[in-house]
């Protein structure tokens, strides 16, 4: 098994476990809850509750932004969500496209697909579907999509250039994406890079910001815009899992290193 395959298997197993948990279970370890921040995957999530189409059953608190809010989705659009989880961004997108749109969620984890499909059925949405697939090889035909969104998922893919190439392939000319993700400004300590929890939390797989934006440009996208950017501060109880007190002091001296960004770009003719 290659390194990339090992990373994908780690991610599949971790998110399979997360899919079986409620948001309340996830949130009990979130820094925003006022209790111990013992998990990484949910310390960066933002509040969807005020967005039209929000469904609590589909929100596992796993994101690092609100990409669908910035995605300029119109009535009747074909929208694809990469790493769709329990369906949260798909249902928000559906509120924008209306019944004439088509929303397709792609996820790597079978348990997530089952959960999202059950949520869509419960909501009675016949224009929202979920497909299991690898975002490095998106199971959608070329030039078929108006908008691509994704929330804190691309870092889980070992080959980010392959993902952005696939996004470019499936978008129509004139289509665009809005993607929230984690990037780095500076070097992440080696102990963080090798931790399974950090992979599942989109941290260890994070690219340098300058490299991330360069890949988007290399693939052919135009009008690349950062729509939102926030520093991510890791709480002490997470840092203590990986570092000595001296290491934590050194890490904080170089912080912030980790940022959440929402990036927009267009496929022009």
pLDDT at 201: 58
Look at the chain and report how many structural domains it folds into: 1
Residue 251 has pLDDT above 50, yes or no: yes
> Any idea which residue has 């899992």 for tokens?
241
How far is 71 from 148, CA to CA, in rounded Å? 8
Q: Kindly report the three-state secondary structure assignment for every residue of the chain.
A: CCHHHHHHHHHHHHHHHHHCCCHHHHHCCCHHHCCCCCCCCCCCCCCCCCCCCCCHHHCCCCCCCCHHHHCCCCCCCEEEEECCCCCHHHHHHHHHHHHHCEEEEEECCHHHHHHHHHHHHHHCCCCEEEEECCCCCCCCCCCCEEEEEEECCHHHCCCHHHHHHHHHHHEEEEEEEEEEEEEECCCCCHHHHCCHHHHHCCCCCCEEHHHHHHHHHHHCCEEEEEEEEEECCCCHHHHCCCCCHHHHHHHHHCCCCEEEEEEEEECCC
Residue of higher predicted confidence among 258 and 17: 258
- The pTM assigned to this predicted structure is 0.85
**What CATH number is associated with residue 255?**
3.40.50.150
pLDDT at 36: 42
Q: How many CA atoms lie within 13 A of 113 on its CB side?
A: 14
Per residue in 150-188, pLDDT (tens digit) is: 998 898 888 999 999 999 999 999 999 999 998 999 887
How far is 235 from 165, CA to CA, in rounded Å? 35
Mean pLDDT of the chain: 84
pLDDT at 21: 64
Per residue in 79-126, pLDDT (tens digit) is: 999 999 999 999 999 999 999 999 999 999 999 999 999 999 999 999
Segments forming the whole domain that contains residue 245: 3-266
> Any idea which residue has 């289509």 for tokens?
175
Q: Yes or no: say if 156 and 40 are a contact pair by the CB < 8 Å rule.
A: no
Tell me the pLDDT band of 195, cut-offs 50, 70 and 90.
low
């Amino acid at each position: 098994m290659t390194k990339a395959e090992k990373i994908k298997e780690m991610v599949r197993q971790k998110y399979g476990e997360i899919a079986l948990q409620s948001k309340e279970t996830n949130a009990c370890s979130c820094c925003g809850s006022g209790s111990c921040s013992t998990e990484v995957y949910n310390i960066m999530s933002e509040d969807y509750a005020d967005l039209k189409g929000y469904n609590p059953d589909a929100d596992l608190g796993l994101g690092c932004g609100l990409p669908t809010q910035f995605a300029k989705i119109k009535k009747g659009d074909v929208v694809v969500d990469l790493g769709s989880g329990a369906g949260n961004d798909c249902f928000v997108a559906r509120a924008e496209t209306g019944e004439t749109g088509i929303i397709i969620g792609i996820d790597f984890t079978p348990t997530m697909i089952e959960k999202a499909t059950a949520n869509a059925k419960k909501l009675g949405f016949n224009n929202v579907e979920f497909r299991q697939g690898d975002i490095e090889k998106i199971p959608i035909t070329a030039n078929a999509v108006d908008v691509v969104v994704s929330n804190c998922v691309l870092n889980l893919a070992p080959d980010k250039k392959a993902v952005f190439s696939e996004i470019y392939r499936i978008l129509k000319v004139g289509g665009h994406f809005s993607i929230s993700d984690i990037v780095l400004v500076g070097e992440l300590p080696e102990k963080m890079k090798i931790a399974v929890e950090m992979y599942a939390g989109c941290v260890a797989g994070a690219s340098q910001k300058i490299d991330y934006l360069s890949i988007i440009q290399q693939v052919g996208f135009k009008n690349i815009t950062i729509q939102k950017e926030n520093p991510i501060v890791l709480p002490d109880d997470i840092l203590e899992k990986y570092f000595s007190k001296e290491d934590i002091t050194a890490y904080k001296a170089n912080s912030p290193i980790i940022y959440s960004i929402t990036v927009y770009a267009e496929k022009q003719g």
